Amino acid sequence: TSISSAFSALASCGQLCFNNMVSQYSALGCASPTESACLCANVNFGYGLRDCSNGACGSNVEAASSAIAYGSAFCSCAGTVTATATSTGLAALPSCGQLCFNNMLAQYSSLGCASEQDAACLCGNVNFGYGLRDCSNGACGSEVASTVIAYGSAYCASATAAPKKL
């Protein structure tokens, strides 16, 4: 299935949310709406798609889930990831943030990745960013969590990989 035919199969609420997030390219730090790797490197692209889909699709959980899954597939095709984030950066985080980041790395298998060193795979799964965000907010509080989330965004943005084809 091509990415464009998968998009056409989405419910209108999912298409609306995806298009709305792409239209936020400038706010997401990208030069153009066609820079999919840039869009996907910003965790807020996935968060926005998820939050919009859950709200706009209402009780149609299947439509919301399909839109979120489409976003994950879109980003896996965009090609992001080989980590260059340094251990010094991780060491600069508060202990609660280090714990959350390391816990998310340890989830590599449940995230469908071969190892915790496979940043491309980890960052290609929106649940890596969601887990880091949710853990940091719970363990560190929202004020400190923003630094942990920013570290996760930098980790994923610094990763590189050849784009994959669906």
The reply to whether 134 sits in an annotated binding site is: no
For the segment 115-156, what is each residue's pLDDT rounded down to a tens digit?
988 988 898 888 998 999 899 889 988 778 878 887 887 788
Other CB atoms within 10 A of residue 104 CB: 24
**C-beta separation of 3 from 164 below 8 A:** no
Integer-rounded Cα radius of gyration of the chain: 16
DSSP 23-77: TTTTTTT-SSTT-HHHHHHSHHHHHHHHHHHHHHTTT-HHHHHHHHHHHHHHHHH
Helix (H, G, I), strand (E, B) or coil at 89: helix
What's CA 76's distance to the chain center, in Å? 10
For the segment 86-118, what is each residue's pLDDT rounded down to a tens digit?
444 777 788 898 999 999 999 999 999 999 889
What proportions of the chain, in percent to the nearest 5, are helix, strand and coil? Answer: 65, 0, 35
For the segment 33-42, what is each residue's pLDDT rounded down to a tens digit?
888 888 888 8
pTM: 0.51
Extract the tokens encoding 125.
């799964």
